[in-house]
């Protein structure tokens, strides 16, 4: 059976979503599948089942499939670094920072790693569904590509192209992309999916006819625009969430420049008792303020000092929550003497917590069950900074902080945090219901028979 590459006409067309939708629909047809992305560029990461660090979007895709994760599903991950550098995570392990220009110069050294991971998965599963990156025909970047044409060429994958009709110019983007594909890829193209369509689907019947008859490209489906509100990949997808605005509890999340792991807040976004907003001002309009994770803690702390948020937090009289990087900002002092994350060795924090956090050369990457009061909470840690006095949690009447990501996934913790008057709900159950409805809806609009026929081999 052939593997599949999901190509996009541009960034943010919905490749990540289509990857798990296609993979899940194949799985429901009896095909063992796994989601893969050769190279992710994201500050949002998770701890895989093998204890390594992978992009949160790839982790989410495979959680939908219910398969175990390892670094093989995402062998290369890039995170924000200082200035023009990127933080490299190779085979799930931090390898330090590298200038982006030098990273691309040494790209050939990563290709064997990507090939080994893909081959490993291809041996274990009937079909690997490989998510591409950005636009698949950025001609000036083809030699630097690991996720699109490199995978499709090396492993002769079948290709599904996805185009975002909401951006406008969908005909030009489909026609231009297909025209620029190499002949080998054109031959392996199963068809195109038109994504994020709003309104009456029949209004695009002529559009389908144009793409199929004039461009010679089968249309595999025209997918409706449905806000998913879970599985956010990056800050672009974060802008697309649609949330109930009638909740009695108002939660403001500081939108840091280097915000990371904002998937932490998906249980809050889909909570009908809450009204959630990502904010940069007007803190007093909210009952709770959350300082989220950050890939550049000191830089984001200085940003808050510059724009007045630092002083506003000090004056805020309701409850403040800090998660990982946000937790680190709550201490009196942040110490980074070896320059793990910043060139500034000592930085004054908010001072909500007496004491200091210090950056260690040893990165904590851990998935576990954590004890808090009488609760056993599932979650994970990804951080360099450490506190001797408060290694996991801190709490007083006005402040709660923790290094643990995924803590809001725990129903018991949300019930404890929001207290009397908060009813609560089962996050896992609602998440499952949302995904089932979403996938089933998309499946009604996708020609999966064509996909199956295209990947089956004699």
Q: Which residues contact 28 (CB under 8 A, 6 or more apart)?
A: none
Pick the catalytic residue from 59, 136, 258, 324.
324
Place of tokens 């851990």: 366
Q: What are 222's two structure tokens?
A: 């025209």
Pick from 53, 45, 91, 46: nearest CA to 72: 91
81 and 97 Cβ atoms separated by less than 8 Å: yes
Pick from 51, 151, 56, 152: nearest CA to 110: 151
* Burial class for 457, CB neighbours closer than 10 Å (0-12, 13-18, 19+): exposed
At 129, which helix (H) or strand (E)? strand 127-131
At 440, which helix (H) or strand (E)? helix 427-444
Identify whether 383 is a catalytic site residue. Answer: no
Pick the catalytic residue from 59, 72, 258, 405.
405
Phi, psi of 418 (to 5 degrees): -85, -15
Question: Which runs of E-coded beta strand occur in 173-316?
Answer: 189-197, 219-224, 249-254, 259-260, 274-279, 288-291, 293-294
CA distance 324 to 251: 18
Identify whether 136 is a catalytic site residue. Answer: no
Question: How do beta strands 274-279 and 249-254 pair?
Answer: parallel
* DSSP output for 22-75: HHHHHHHTT--EEEE-SEEE-S-EEE-TTS-EEEHHHHHHHHHHT----GGG--
Pick from 381, 373, 342: nearest CA to 358: 342
User: What does R_g of the chain's alpha carbons equal in angstroms?
Assistant: 23
Phi, psi of 429 (to 5 degrees): -65, -45
Q: Which residues contact 455 (CB under 8 A, 6 or more apart)?
A: 1, 2, 3, 4, 127, 158, 190
Residues in the chain, total: 458
- The residues that are catalytic are 324, 405
């Amino acid at each position: 059976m052939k593997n599949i590459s999901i190509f996009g006409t541009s960034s943010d067309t919905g490749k990540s979503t289509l990857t798990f939708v296609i993979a899940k629909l194949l799985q429901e047809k009896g095909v063992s599948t796994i989601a893969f992305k050769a190279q992710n560029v994201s500050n949002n990461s998770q701890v895989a089942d093998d204890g390594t660090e992978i992009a949160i979007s790839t982790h989410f895709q495979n959680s939908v499939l219910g398969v175990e994760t390892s670094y093989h599903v995402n062998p290369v991950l890039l995170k924000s670094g200082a200035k023009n550098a990127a933080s490299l995570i190779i085979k799930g392990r931090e390898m330090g920072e590298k200038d982006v220009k030098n990273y691309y110069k040494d790209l050939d050294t990563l290709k064997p790693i990507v090939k080994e991971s893909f081959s490993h998965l291809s041996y274990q599963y009937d079909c690997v569904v490989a998510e591409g990156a950005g636009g698949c025909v950025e001609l000036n970047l083809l030699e630097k590509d690991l996720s699109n044409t490199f995978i499709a060429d090396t492993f002769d994958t079948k290709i599904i192209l996805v185009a975002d009709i909401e951006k406008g110019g969908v005909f030009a983007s489909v026609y231009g992309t297909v025209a620029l594909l190499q002949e080998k890829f054109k031959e392996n193209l199963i068809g195109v999916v038109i994504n994020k369509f709003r309104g009456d689907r029949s209004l695009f019947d002529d559009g389908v006819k144009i793409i199929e008859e004039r461009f010679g490209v089968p249309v595999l489906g025209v997918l409706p625009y449905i806000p998913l509100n879970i599985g956010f990949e990056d800050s672009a997808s974060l802008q697309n969430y649609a949330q109930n605005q009638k909740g009695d509890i108002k939660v403001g999340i500081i939108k840091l420049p280097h915000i990371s792991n904002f998937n932490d807040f998906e249980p809050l976004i889909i909570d009908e008792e809450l009204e959630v907003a990502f904010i940069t001002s007007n803190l007093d309009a909210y009952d709770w303020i959350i300082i989220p994770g950050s890939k550049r803690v000191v830089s984001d702390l200085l940003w808050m000092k510059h724009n007045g948020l630092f002083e506003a937090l000090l004056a805020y009289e309701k409850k403040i929550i800090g998660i990982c990087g946000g937790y680190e900002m709550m201490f009196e002092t942040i110490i980074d003497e070896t320059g793990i994350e910043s060139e500034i060795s000592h930085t004054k924090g908010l001072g909500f917590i007496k004491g200091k956090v210090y950056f260690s050369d040893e990165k904590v990457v851990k998935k576990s069950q954590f004890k808090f009061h009488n609760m056993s909470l599932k979650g994970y840690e990804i951080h360099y900074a450490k506190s001797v006095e408060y290694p996991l949690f801190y709490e007083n009447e006005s402040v709660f902080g923790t290094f643990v990501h995924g803590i809001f996934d725990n129903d018991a913790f949300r019930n404890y945090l929001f207290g009397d008057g908060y009813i609560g709900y089962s996050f896992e159950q609602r998440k499952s219901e949302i995904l089932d409805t979403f996938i089933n809806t998309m499946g009604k609009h996708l020609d999966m028979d064509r996909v199956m026929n295209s990947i089956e081999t004699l």
